[in-house]
Structure formats: C-alpha cells, structure tokens
Structure 1
Amino acid sequence: MRHFNYTLTPTRINNAKPKAQPYKLTDGGGLFVLVHPGGSKAWRFQYVFAGKRRSVLIGSYPEISVADARDRHAEYRAMVEQGSDPAAHKQADDAERKLRASQGADDRQFKGFSLTWLDERLGSKSEGYRAQMRSLLERFVWPDIGSKALVDVKPAHVLAIIEKRRGTPNTAENVRVLIQQVYNYAIQKLLVETNPALALRGVIAVPKAEHHRHLSESELGAFWRAVGKQGAHPSTTAAVKLLMYSMSRKVEVLRAKWSEIDTDKAQWDIPPERMKSRRPHRVYLSTQALEVLEVQRALTGDLEYVFPSAFRANVPMADATLNHLFKRLDFGVPEFSPHGTRGTAATLLREHGFSRDVVELLLAHTERSQTAASYHHHELEAERRRALQYLADEIDRHAAISAAGNVVNIKTKTA
C-alpha cells in the first residue's frame, strides 16, 4: 500500500465549527472527518472499489480517537488492496449484531453483556484483536459463567476459571484481566457494583518477561557462519537470513507472500493484519536481501508464500522450524532465539551512529508520543534504506572476519 502523511490533529478537529452544510476535514489516503451542521463529527473512509467511489463509516469522534481511526483506516485500505469491500464487510457485521440482538442476548447475563462489551468497547480495535478476545471468552470463560447473571458471579467462580489455567500462567492472567475489563464496563453501565476479578490480581504468579539475548559483533559473525553450515533446508536458511536482514519478527517473515514484495523497488510491504502494531510496515530490501529472495523465487516463486512448509506447499513454514534450527546452532552462544536477531541488529545500528528514530521505525515499534509518532508518517525512507544496507554489509564483514579467524586457528593447531 502507498504510504502518506496524515494531517489531522485532535486540536484541529476539536476546533472545527459546524457550518450550514456538512464538510470534510481530510486526514489522508481517503480518511476524513465529516463535520455535520448539528456539530457532530464522524470518521469516514472514501475509496474506489470495482470502479465505483464508495465510503464507509468508521465511527463518531471523539469516541473513535485519531489513533483508532487510523488503525481502522489501515485495515480497510488493506481490504480494498485484497479485493474486499469494507462497506460490505461492515454491513455484514452490523447484520450479525442485529441478529444477535433479535435473538434476545441478555445483558444481565455474563455472556450477553460480554458480547456487548466486545461491540461497544472494542469496536474501534482491529478484527484480529477482537477475535482473540472472543476466543478467550469462548474457550475459558463462557463455559463456566456465560449463563450466570452478572450479579451472581463471585470471586470464587473467577478463581476456579483461572486455577484451571495455572499451568499456563500468562493465559490465566489474560483471562482474569479480560473478566475484570468486562466488569469494569458493567460497573460503568450501573449493572453491578463490584468486580469479582479485581481481588484475584496476583493469585497466579506470572513469570517475568524474558529479555532475548542479543549477539556481540564477533558473535554475529560466528552465528552467520553457523547458519550457512547447518545443512538445513534452503528455504529455512533463507528465512533466517531475511529475518536478520529485515529486522522483522519471525511471524512476519514466515508468512511473507510474493505479492507483498516488489524487487524492482527493493521493498516489502507487510499488511497491518500481520503486524503487532496493526499498522502497515515497509521493509526496504538491501542488496543481500534481494539476492536471498532471487534464489528463493526460483524455489517457490510459483507459490503464494515465500517460505512455504516443506510438507504442504499451500501453507507457510511453521514457527517451530526456525526455533528448532536455532536450538541446533553451535556457535558458542546457547539459548539464542529468532527474536534475538532484532535486538542484535538494533544494537549494532545504534552503536554505529544510527538514530533512535530510524531504529524504532525499522523495528516497527509504535510510538505513544505524538511528536515521536510523526516520524512514522514521513517514513525516513533514505535513512532506513541506508541503515538496512549498512546492517547487511556489517553482517558480511563480521562473517568474513570469523571465517578468517577460524582458518588461522586451524593452521595454528596443525603447526
């Protein structure tokens, strides 16, 4: 998808006064705020689909914030790129919601109200995030308390739910927090007065997040040589190299599609639904990355995925494939994981003078401050291209140094 600069700010929207006729405040890429004569303001997305100009309502401002509107805008743009009509998609969602209402979903019961919470509180969130939250409810919560009245759910019921998940503490805590959020909204709606999940905070000890080990520059050379000598499937080796060259996450690389890659422009556009930030991300491909992809295209260019499974060509390579390869690598650093490649690359670039803004963009981190977030809009293309090419060149240089040192050691032992 084409990248552009958004222009609206909350101050500008707040200061917009109503006129006799509706008028637009343009944000960019077809996204705009429509200011109505009565003073209400609504986000809409205008686009062309099947040769016709169409628009779809995103939601009211300020209920839908600037950031949330842009997230939804990115999703809708991706739908258009992939041949789906956002307006038709939204109509289907609305029809399902009305059907649920006509079937008598009872907001006084936990399941009925949690569905309302999904619609009203998560309406501006991504489809993927809402699906994840609904899945947690369906699998772990509704079977136990879905039919109970909100006021009848006690801490003991919530405790029983999370105790079943004690073996997976992160999941247990996610479920507890989810129930807590549902009840926070029920309190705001004056349906209940207490939150049965709040008192259980800390009952399940969640292990501290592990910081992934990153490599020093000398270790990087040894790692790169070990990857080449492992004897793995060519596609697996290629995936590791693109992982390092692109500074992307494992899931983003393994699910890469040929339709996302433009080798003539030396860029790879990852759609928002596959990004952790739910925003589209562009990777500028170094010469070395293009060489990897050129070889890989000869192997898989007639398939959908750049790195398909060795067992089923129509699905991407499994995450475990890279995990197992990294565990087999013997280069002097135990427990080095695929995610550690991002920290390795980021540290190298920062130590060699590249700015924090450029590195954060390469990592596709979401900035919370509006000032820092502006960098995400003008993209810093030249600096990002230079950084990724520098990274690839440094990898080659350290691999060559490692190889030369290994030759010297062999000769010394022989002598």
Structure 2
Amino acid sequence: MNDLRFAQLKAIRPTGKVQQFFDGGGLVMRVTGQGKMTWRLEYRFDGERRSRSLGLFPDVPLAEAREMRDHVRNQIARGEDPDAVVEAPAAETTFGEIVAYFIQNLVDQEMSDATLQKNRWLLLDLAGPLHSRPIAKVRAGDIIPLIQEQIVRGKRETAKRLRSRIAAVFDLGIVMEVCQGNPAIALRSIVPKAEVKHTAAITEEAEFGTLLRTIDNYPNSTIRNLLKMQVLCYTRLGEMRMSRWENINFDEKVMLVPKDIVKVRREHQVPLSRQAIAILAEQQKISGGSNLVFPQLRKRDKPLSENAVNNALLAMGYGGDIHTAHGFRSSASTILNERGFRHDVIEASLGHVESNAVRRAYNRAVYWKERVEMAQAWADLCDKFRGKVSRLAEIEESL
C-alpha cells in the first residue's frame, strides 16, 4: 500500500538529523540533516538483504520511483537477480547544488551578512565555472585555474579563501554521500602565503590627539559623531554603524551590541562614558526619528556605509595606510596597554572572546566594573590628548 503523497514530500524540511519516510514495498525516502532527499529501495533476494539508490527527489518523482520499485519486485518474483541487470543511472548531484546547501546552512546558522556575502562571492562568483559539473567528477585540475587566476592578480588571500571554501563544499558533499574525496585539500601547497597586513592605526598619543581635533572639525555631523563614538567605544565599525536607538540605555549608560551584528555572534555590552552620552544625545536630535543611530542622509532606514566613514578619514588626510575607522580599536588597545590598564579588561572591552566558557562568564561578571571605569578614564584621556600638539606640529609652527 502506498503511504506517501506528493504534498507530503514537498512539505519535508531538514531537521539536522536523518529522516526516513516509507512508501511501502521497500521504497524509502531518506532525507539527510541538510535536506538532501534520496529514494532508496530495500529488498531481499535469495535470502540476502540489499539496498539501492533510485535517485534524488524531485529529479525522480514519486510515480517514477514507484515504477522502479515495482520493476525490481517483478524481477525478484520471476527469480531474476536485480543486480544482474544494468540499473538506470542515479541522478548526479552537481557542485552548484551542494554550494546551495552549503550557503543555506550558513543562513540557518545565522551567520552575519558580511560572512554570507563573502561566501556567496567566493562560491557563486569565483567558483561559478564548477557549478554545472557533477561534484563527484570535479578534479583538482578543474579547481587549479580558478585559484591561479587570483594568484596572478596578486589576490593571494582571496586564492587561499577560495580553496578553503571549495574544500568545505566537498566536505559537505562527502557527508551527503554524493562524492568520495576532496580534491581541494591537496591544493594547499599551490597557494602562497598571503602577506599579513595589520590595520593602519595611529598609536602615538600626540598624533592621536591631532587626529581627534581633526575629527572634531569635520563638517558632516553624523559622520563626525560616529567617528567620535568609535574613538570612545572602539567597537568594530559595523557594530557602531548599525547601532539602533532601542539598544542604547541612557539611564544605565550602556550600549548593547546584538549578536546578529557581532563578528563572534555573541551579545556584547559597551559601557558609555559621560562624553559618549553627550554625543548620543546630540545625535538623537540629528537622526530625525530614524531607528538607526547613524542613518544615511537620504535613506534614513540605511546605516552609514563603511566607505563613507573611511572616505571621510581620507578627506581629512588619513588614508588607509595611515589610519582607518577600524584602527581606533588598535589605537585604544595600544595606548591603554602602554598606560598600564589590565590586558584582560582591555580584551574584554574590545569584545574579544575567551575560548574557555567558564572563564568567559567569569570575565563578564568580574570585569564590568573595571570596564566602566576604564571607559571613563579613556574618554578623559582623549580630552587630554586633544590639548596636546605633536612634535611635528611644534616644529612646523616654529618655522
């Protein structure tokens, strides 16, 4: 008796675990944790238990799977060995199909928009030539030209990431039982090591003070206030750009950074100094009722872009090789460490995650008071730096 219906099959959703649905006569729909749906036929011949794949759903529809089941059962009834007859080839899963599963897994894991964008670029654009090929037939020789193209262009880090993402897709393919090996693993040696580029940042106090005074005079009030908040809170730029008023607690003097915009996917709290509260109070009037703290001028539902912030620094004379918006984290970390603040407290304030879960919880509880005190001390130091003049400026003024 047939148990399955087409509507039931269409309604099946991945659960992270293997599921099986029975249609009778040994026909089984097997669904992997990632949602791959394969028809399998379980039967016995001459007392031996056997199993075979009949292809993927919906490429092989329910009616066709039943026909193949009935054909095998008729062979058995006639005393014929089904394995002695050439089977119709199962549908071959393409590399592009597994890429789709891979990216959907990232979405299900609530990865950040930036992570999703990078993976889509690497796997949908750069690895696009592989998509139409059956993943089981993709060889190292098919992947090498894609990687070498990036190396020739001087994009060694991109080449490294591309190989890594392709390898991850093959790992998923192995788990889903659509390929046997991972040809991308052997290609590690063809990717030269990328040069380590540290974020450009000013870490000398007097020069940092000059930067602060320059920011104070920038004409665009929203960008100016965002940069001043970056100085005081040294969050990741995306965390500050996408901050919302609902996550600012003026009474408790705390800014909440939700896990959906945090790189490490864990909620983070930022203590706000008196100076930070004053900037936010001014920005609240400027934002014009937007839910965003730092909205774009013409699109009030969109946050300021990273390019807008770094272009503002460039216009002030601070190019990417001198100081970037992300560099405020390095500036604060270096100066605070040099002034004797506790390293663990600085790391906690930067939102760096302690790998040990117990220690992480301990740090969160114990360091908060010190973090609040350090936030105010840092804001006061920044005011002090604004009053300093660099040695270079002194020399220029004396000429």
Could you state the TM-score of these two structures normalised by the residue count of structure 2? 0.69
- Show the counterpart of 1:219: 207
- Show the counterpart of 1:300: 287
- Taking every aligned residue pair, what percent have the same amino acid on both sides? 23
Work out the CA distance in 1 between the residues paired with 2:319 and 2:161.
Answer: 36
Aligned partner of 2:124: which letter? E
Work out the CA distance in 1 between the residues paired with 2:194 and 2:330.
Answer: 21
- Show the counterpart of 1:71: none
**After the TM superposition, which of the residue ranges 313-322 and 97-106 deviates more from structure 2?**
97-106
Aligned Cα root-mean-square deviation (Å)? 3.7
Contact map agreement 1:225 1:403 (CA 8 A) in 2: no
Contact map agreement 2:314 2:320 (CA 8 A) in 1: no
Q: How far did 1:165 drift?
A: 3.9
- Show the counterpart of 2:48: none
Change (3 A) 1:353 1:165: same
Aligned partner of 2:356: which letter? S
Contact map agreement 1:173 1:204 (CA 8 A) in 2: yes
Contact map agreement 2:106 2:116 (CA 8 A) in 1: no
Q: How far did 1:344 drift?
A: 1.1
Work out the CA distance in 2 between the residues paired with 1:330 and 1:131.
Answer: 30
Work out the CA distance in 1 between the residues paired with 2:307 and 2:208.
Answer: 22
Work out the CA distance in 1 between the residues paired with 2:316 and 2:287.
Answer: 25
- Show the counterpart of 2:133: 148
**Alignment of structure 1 residues 200-349 onto 2, 5 Å:** 200-205=187-192, 207-212=194-199, 213-229=201-217, 231-330=218-317, 335-349=322-336
Aligned partner of 2:203: which letter? L
| Partner SS for 2:132 | coil
Work out the CA distance in 1 between the residues paired with 2:256 and 2:141.
Answer: 48
Contact map agreement 2:207 2:390 (CA 8 A) in 1: no
| Partner SS for 2:190 | coil
Q: How far did 1:149 drift?
A: 2.2
- 1:58-88 alpha-carbon deviations (Å, 9 max, x no partner): 979xxxxxxxxxxxxxxxxxxxxxxxxxxxx
Work out the CA distance in 1 between the residues paired with 2:376 and 2:261.
Answer: 24
| Partner SS for 1:182 | helix
Q: What are structure 2's unaligned runs of at least 5 residues?
A: 1-14, 18-31, 39-55, 61-90
- Show the counterpart of 2:143: 158
Work out the CA distance in 2 between the residues paired with 1:344 and 1:365.
Answer: 16
Change (3 A) 1:196 1:400: same
Q: How far did 1:147 drift?
A: 3.0
Q: How far did 1:323 drift?
A: 0.9
**After the TM superposition, which of the residue ranges 278-287 and 303-312 deviates more from structure 2?**
303-312
Which of 122, 141, 151 is 1:136 aligned to? 122
Work out the CA distance in 2 between the residues paired with 1:307 and 1:344.
Answer: 22
Contact map agreement 1:232 1:325 (CA 8 A) in 2: no
Q: How far did 1:298 drift?
A: 1.3
Work out the CA distance in 2 between the residues paired with 1:261 and 1:300.
Answer: 14
Change (3 A) 1:307 1:333: closer
- Show the counterpart of 2:353: 366
**After the TM superposition, which of the residue ranges 282-291 and 367-376 deviates more from structure 2?**
367-376
**Alignment of structure 1 residues 186-197 onto 2, 5 Å:** 186-187=173-174, 192-197=179-184
Q: What are structure 1's unaligned runs of at least 5 residues?
A: 1-57, 61-93
**Alignment of structure 1 residues 32-51 onto 2, 5 Å:** none
Larger radius of gyration: 2
Change (3 A) 1:182 1:403: closer
Contact map agreement 2:257 2:269 (CA 8 A) in 1: yes
Q: How far did 1:207 drift?
A: 3.1
**Alignment of structure 1 residues 30-109 onto 2, 5 Å:** 97=35, 102-104=57-59, 108-109=93-94
Q: How far did 1:363 drift?
A: 0.6
Work out the CA distance in 1 between the residues paired with 2:334 and 2:106.
Answer: 38
Work out the CA distance in 2 between the residues paired with 1:144 and 1:107.
Answer: 17
- 1:120-179 alpha-carbon deviations (Å, 9 max, x no partner): 7996563655675355333333x3222322231011211233344443443332221111
Q: How far did 1:186 drift?
A: 4.1
Change (3 A) 1:368 1:388: same
- Show the counterpart of 1:110: 95
Change (3 A) 1:409 1:349: same
| Partner SS for 1:269 | strand
| Partner SS for 1:290 | helix
Q: How far did 1:390 drift?
A: 0.6
Could you state the TM-score of these two structures normalised by the residue count of structure 1? 0.66
Contact map agreement 1:108 1:191 (CA 8 A) in 2: yes
Matched residues, number: 321
Aligned partner of 2:159: which letter? A
Q: How far did 1:406 drift?
A: 6.7
Q: How far did 1:228 drift?
A: 1.9
- 1:30-60 alpha-carbon deviations (Å, 9 max, x no partner): xxxxxxxxxxxxxxxxxxxxxxxxxxxx979
Q: How far did 1:260 drift?
A: 1.4
Q: How far did 1:265 drift?
A: 1.3
| Partner SS for 2:353 | coil
Change (3 A) 1:99 1:262: farther
Work out the CA distance in 2 between the residues paired with 1:331 and 1:161.
Answer: 36
